[in-house]
């Protein structure tokens, strides 16, 4: 712990990473918006619906939803986010449906 105490961290708004709840809800709804003509796999559709519901209630936000909101908040501030690896597409980890397919 002594090593960490020597860090010189500047004060001010530079490191403020907070995002207002209303902004997160709006970003989440936009991120999980599915075109009406897209036929999603039922489990993926349910995952997206559950995520939106948890945002609206402000509770039950799981790690996957929080991760997606973090990415969305970074993108909304003009930062680039790179997610790599095949798990992003194939959904091996069900939270990572960054690419969705029309069935």
pLDDT in tens, 10-63: 666 666 778 999 999 999 999 888 889 999 888 888 988 999 999 999 999 988
Q: How far apart are CA 72 and CA 51, in angstroms?
A: 14
Torsion angle defined by CA atoms of residues 21, 25, 30 and 31, in that order, rounded to the nearest 10 degrees: 90
Rounded average pLDDT over 77-102 = 72
Q: Tokens for 6?
A: 């020597």
* Per-residue b or e along 52-89, where b marks 16 or more CB atoms closer than 10 Å to that residue's CB: beebeeeeebeeebeebbebbbeeeeeeeeeeeeeeee
Q: Give helix 21-31 / helix 42-57 axis angle, nearest 10°.
A: 170
Write down the pLDDT at residue 62.
87
Q: 64 and 96 in contact (C-beta within 8 Å)?
A: yes
Write down the pLDDT at residue 87.
65
């Amino acid at each position: 712990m002594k090593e960490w105490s020597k860090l010189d961290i500047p004060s001010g708004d530079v490191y403020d990473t907070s995002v207002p709840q209303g902004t997160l809800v709006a970003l989440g709804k936009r991120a999980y918006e599915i075109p009406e003509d897209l036929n999603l796999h039922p489990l993926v559709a349910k995952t997206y619906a559950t995520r939106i519901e948890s945002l609206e209630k402000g509770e039950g936000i799981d790690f996957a939803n929080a991760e997606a909101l973090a990415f969305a908040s970074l993108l909304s501030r003009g930062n680039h986010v790179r997610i790599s690896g095949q798990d992003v597409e194939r959904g091996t980890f069900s939270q990572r449906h960054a690419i969705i397919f029309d069935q």
